[in-house]
Chain A
Amino acid sequence: MKAKEVLGDDPEIVLADKRYDLVSNILATSLVKGAKKWTITDMLDKVFIHKFLGIPVFIALFWAMFRFAYDASAPFMEIIGFFFESLAEASAGIPNEVLASLIGDGIFGGLGFILTFIPPIFFLFFGIAILEDSGYLARAAFIMDRIMFKLGLHGRSFIPMLLGFGCNIPAMMATRSIEGEKDRLITLLVNPFISCGARLPVYILIAGAFFGSMATTAIWSMYFLGIVVAILLALLLRKTLLKGEPAPFIMELPLYKAPTFYGSVIHMWERGVQFLKKAGTYLLAGAIMLWFLSTFPWGAEVELSYTGQIGQALAPLFAPLGFDWRIVASLVFALLAKEIAVEALGIIYAVEGETAIAGALVASYNPVIGFTLMAFTLLYIPCVATIGTMKKESGSWKWTIFQLVLTLVVAYVVGLVITGIGTALGYA
């Protein structure tokens, strides 16, 4: 006897229906539903997913979340910074000069500075976890889907993009919940354009040095720029290399429930740990490598150290952007972890402390170059840890290398545009 005769063209559906029939039968004897009650979920959803009211709620909640992340983390950043500075000073007492330098400047100095940016990342993840556990995040993805669909993206891409503001690594890992292969790939490719927590120290330094009272605006503009570039590139990819319809968007909206502190901490920890493990190793290796390449040949002037040599070799390529060998050298180091750019600049200018570095920058460059550098840092090749994650999540060297080239090209082009406009406006 043939299966088709008995089950027809859609055997899966026939069998599925029968299973559901059985479920109904069982529930008929074991479940009694009371009168339908008007729940909190019903009430909240009346507003939260409302066509118009939903949007200001969305903006307000996310604004609050970002503010919380950065405000709450500020005291912790101070503590970590202080802790490592003290350690760095203490290690000056180590008898062996090279060792003292390695431990004091290389490890404690470099690493300490980088680690101060862990609190904002963790607090951001905590904020996201609260929104997620409460059930609101699903509504946010729903609201975003309408817009994202027009951009060739999937409503599900919203959450990985959001996580990118903390760190691109857990963000890229979160794309696993996206169903369509192409949708997932596009989200992976443009994710690095979202400004992660590591780039913030670089913005703070440069904006603080050049833009005075406008510094905050300059920094916000980087976040905005990242989002715009990610959107434009997603659209472009969707229209060219990764053509096709986005996969169907189906998502369950769970009941709203009060998030528990413990539960949210676990979620925060899961994502934060992904950042720590992946990025942490590179950060440490990066700090040591930076120290090594700039301190050797021992006793030489910075220009003649390995760092200087690398910078000077590549500098001509970046002349149109106004970048000299010093900036190029620090950008090379920032490949290890973008925060390192600040530290690198300090070593290259042979000064210590942010104010001093800022002073050196202002003395050597004009505001246009400063702004270009911020944009370049935002957009160019992602840090090594992110590249590694891209390879893992996409499973393909081809797309990973494509992303490297894409980010570099986009950064360069945008850099040129900024330089052009800035010079034309007379700020050079």
Chain B
Amino acid sequence: MMEIPLAMLPVGAKGKITRIRGGRGLVRRLSDMGFTHDAEVTVVCSHSSPNPGHGGPLVVEVKDSRIAFGRGIAVKIMVQEVDN
């Protein structure tokens, strides 16, 4: 199954994290917030736009909590889509 950036998942879709492309600081920070390998992520809300770069922030549910972050980060989190 292909891995795609979290930013591309539509609202309501679920994904399993395969890896996070980014500096150590970001990866560790995300990991502290619950974004670890194999963690399941559900997209709650997306303000993304077709523009690359910071199109809009996202809200996802991961490990029982709701986290919001910018699209700049969402494109760095790679996931495999999971069927509901």
Contact = CB atoms under 8 A, between A and B. Distances in A.
User: A contacts B directly in the complex (CB < 8 Å)?
Assistant: yes
Interface of A: 10, 12-13, 16-17, 20, 41, 45, 49-51, 138, 142, 145-146, 149, 155, 248-255
B27 A250 contact: no
Contacts of B68: 49, 138, 142, 145, 249-253
A51 B59 CA distance: 12
Interface string B11-53: 0000000000000101111111100110100001101000000
Given A146-B56, A155-B57, A249-B57, A16 B31 contact: yes
20 contacts: A12-B31, A13-B28, A13-B31, A16-B36, A17-B31, A17-B36, A20-B36, A138-B68, A145-B57, A146-B57, A149-B54, A249-B57, A249-B69, A250-B68, A250-B73, A251-B68, A252-B65, A252-B67, A253-B59, A253-B68
Contacts of A253: 59, 66-68
B24 A10 contact: yes
Given A20-B36, A249-B73, 10 more contacts: A12-B27, A17-B31, A45-B44, A45-B59, A45-B66, A149-B70, A155-B70, A248-B70, A249-B68, A250-B67
A419 B72 CA distance: 44
Contacts of B47: 51, 146
Contacts of B65: 252
B84 to A, nearest CB: 11
Contacts of A45: 44-45, 59, 66
A17 B70 CA distance: 24
Contact of A142 (B27, B37, B57, B73): B57
Instruction: Categorize the interface residue count of chain B.
Output: 20 to 34
The 4 closest A-B pairs by CB, nearest first: A253-B66, A249-B70, A250-B69, A142-B68
A363 B57 CA distance: 54
A16 B28 contact: yes
A251 B37 contact: no
B27 A13 contact: yes
Interface of B is mostly: mixed
B48 to A, nearest CB: 10
Contact of B69 (A13, A51, A248): A248
B66 A252 contact: yes
A50 B26 contact: no
A145 B70 contact: yes
A255 B30 CA distance: 20
Contacts of A50: 45
A155 B58 CA distance: 13
A51 B56 CA distance: 9
A10 B27 contact: yes
A248 B69 CA distance: 8
Given A45-B45, A142-B57, A146-B57, A250 B30 contact: yes
A253 B57 CA distance: 13
B73 A248 contact: yes
B45 A49 contact: yes
A142 B45 CA distance: 11
A251 to B, nearest CB: 5
Contacts of B73: 248-250
Given A16-B31, A51-B47, A251 B24 contact: no
Contacts of A251: 67-69
Interface string B56-80: 1101000001111110110000000
A57 to B, nearest CB: 14
Nearest to B63: A20
Contacts of B28: 12-13, 16
Contacts of B24: 10, 12
A75 B12 CA distance: 49
Contacts of A145: 57, 68, 70
A139 to B, nearest CB: 8
Nearest to A135: B66
A51 B66 CA distance: 17
A253 B68 CA distance: 7
B72 A142 contact: no
A146 B65 CA distance: 21
A248 B28 CA distance: 13
Contacts of B45: 45, 49-50
A256 to B, nearest CB: 10
Nearest to A12: B28
Given A10-B24, A45-B44, A145-B70, A250 B33 contact: yes
Contact of B29 (A17, A146, A155, A250): A250
Given A45-B45, A51-B47, A252 B59 contact: no
A17 B68 CA distance: 22
